[in-house]
Amino acid sequence: MKYIIKNVTLICFVFIACEPQPERVANLNTFIHPAEFDEHESIWLAWPTYEYMEGRPAYGLVAEIINVLSDKVAVDLMVLSDSAKNDAVNYMKTNGINYSHVRFREIEYGDIWIRDMGPMFLRNNGGQLKVVDFGFNTWGYESPTAEYAMLEEQVDRLVARELGLPIIRSKLVSEGGNHEFNGNGVMIVTEAVEVQRNPHLTRDEIEREFKRIYNVQKVIWLPAGVADDELSFRGTLPGNVFTVITTGGHIDEYARFIDENTILLAEVTEEERAKDSIAAMSYVNLERSYEILKKEKDVNDNPFNIIRVPYTEPIYEIMDDKDAVYQFLKELEYEDGTVIEDGSTIKTIIAASYLNYIISNGVVIIPSYWKEGRSGIMKAKDEKFKEIMQSLYPERKIVQVNPENVNIGGGGMHCISKQMPKFNTN
């Protein structure tokens, strides 16, 4: 999401060459990205800076996540200033939120999508941490040297400096929301995203860099994401529907590791495909991914267990020039020639996804979308996904929250959070 910041110091990232590394290294100094289902030291979040749609603030969701995590894990909460910290404290006090476990971190940032522009933490067997520094180009909407992109691109380095951690630099433009790990040598990414961000590199070159950075042995490439996550500047979806400044297909919208050998994959049913042309587009991409995953194996040569989960019912919002998302979309140059006329309204589909969840110590926070006036189908899907997650994580508490006020901005709970692994302070 575009955001104008004044009077800040901007720091450019530095490109470095890829250096091939051994694909299998098992020693104390090998840094990997742990699986998200492993124990955490903390969850990083950022206090919201503005509303994506008028009257739909994201404060409530961030505060609710903080409250759910209160007896589970520390929260490192980024704020822009002492004034922003006071605003956050006052909001949480007023709304009965337990924030005793929150560590406030004053760091420059533009928006709350910390999964994408924030730190990717690596850990070695000795419990030491490093931070990966990728380039950032606002999900393909701007150049990496654009002012806002440079502001957000520095966040990972600022976090590393705050914590006194070393940095691993990469020449890739890439976002954490498109990096999914099983914690044992396997990474899944969406090809359409990585290629779009790095048109000057081949897929093999991108893969070699991922292996160098993350010490993974295998990168599984899935072709494309769900239709309602398509880059907005591509043009409208069927029915003249706009996406809401989305990423172009991040993996965390449709495929996630539950354990080293089990993958959750969203599923559009034949009935949904037949009645909804946008769902039909997602069906094609998801089934292509399913066929690829069925043939893949883990590093021990075992096939993956693939569990299909519901595809969310579509949620539409009508936006006009009072809404920040509308204002951004109106200024885009669309590949299909779309023009948003002055004074018009637009129909948008929000980035709703059951797989954009947060897993932490003893708890999984999952999306839930049904409320009075919505269909029984949506309610049944909410409950089915909860049942699936409870069966997979019987020792963790499953908590449902409604993430729509963040979905309106193009992402979800997973996108606005980042787990920091347990580490050795010695």
Q: What is the pLDDT of residue 8?
A: 36
Confidence grade of residue 11 (pLDDT, cut at 50, 70, 90): very low
What CATH number is associated with residue 54?
3.75.10.10
- Residue 182 lies inside a defined structural domain of this protein: yes
Query: What tokens appear for 43 in the block?
Result: 């969850």
- Enclosing domain of residue 87: 40-421
- Closest to 113 in 3D by CA, of 173, 72, 68, 156: 156
Secondary structure of 2-68 in HEC code, one letter for each residue = CCCCCCCCCCCCCCCCCCCCCCCCCCCCCCECCCCCCCEEEEEEECCCCCCCCCCCCHHHHHHHHHH
**Model confidence over 119-140: pLDDT tens digits?**
999 999 999 999 999 999 999 9
Q: What is the pLDDT of residue 16?
A: 34
Q: What is the mean pLDDT of residues 165-182?
A: 97
Sheet with 186-190, strands from edge to edge, namely 180-181, 186-190, 218-222
As a whole number of angstroms, the distance between CA 418 and CA 221 comes to 23
Confidence grade of residue 420 (pLDDT, cut at 50, 70, 90): very high
- Residue 21 lies inside a defined structural domain of this protein: no
- Closest to 128 in 3D by CA, of 28, 255, 228: 28
The b/e string for 39-48 (b: 16+ C-beta within 10 A; e otherwise) is ebbbbbbbbb
As a whole number of angstroms, the distance between CA 235 and CA 338 comes to 6
**Model confidence over 248-300: pLDDT tens digits?**
999 999 999 999 999 999 999 999 999 999 999 999 999 999 999 999 999 99
- Closest to 348 in 3D by CA, of 56, 37, 146: 56
- Residue 145 lies inside a defined structural domain of this protein: yes
- Which DSSP category does 362 fall into? T
Q: What is the mean pLDDT of residues 348-363?
A: 98
Q: What is the pLDDT of residue 425?
A: 67
- Residue 33 lies inside a defined structural domain of this protein: no
Query: What tokens appear for 200 in the block?
Result: 């000057």
- Residue 135 lies inside a defined structural domain of this protein: yes
- Check whether 314 has a pLDDT greater than 80: yes
Give the list of residues 6+ apart from residue 201 with CB closer than 8 angstroms, or none.
172, 209
- Closest to 369 in 3D by CA, of 44, 61, 47, 52: 61
- Closest to 84 in 3D by CA, of 117, 49, 43, 53: 49
**Model confidence over 20-44: pLDDT tens digits?**
333 333 445 799 999 999 999 999 9
Provide the whole-model pTM: 0.92
Q: Total domain count for the chain?
A: 1
- Residue 118 lies inside a defined structural domain of this protein: yes
- Which DSSP category does 217 fall into? S
Let me know: does 358 contact 365? Beta carbons within 8 Å. yes
Strands 397-401 and 305-310: unpaired
Q: What is the pLDDT of residue 423?
A: 87
Q: What is the pLDDT of residue 5?
A: 34
The dihedral sign for the CA sequence 215, 217, 219, 220: negative
As a whole number of angstroms, the distance between CA 285 and CA 67 comes to 36
**Model confidence over 44-101: pLDDT tens digits?**
999 999 999 999 999 999 999 999 999 999 999 999 999 999 999 999 999 999 999 9
Give the Å distances, CA to CA, from 188 to 75, 251, 254, 293. 27, 7, 11, 10
- Residue 374 lies inside a defined structural domain of this protein: yes
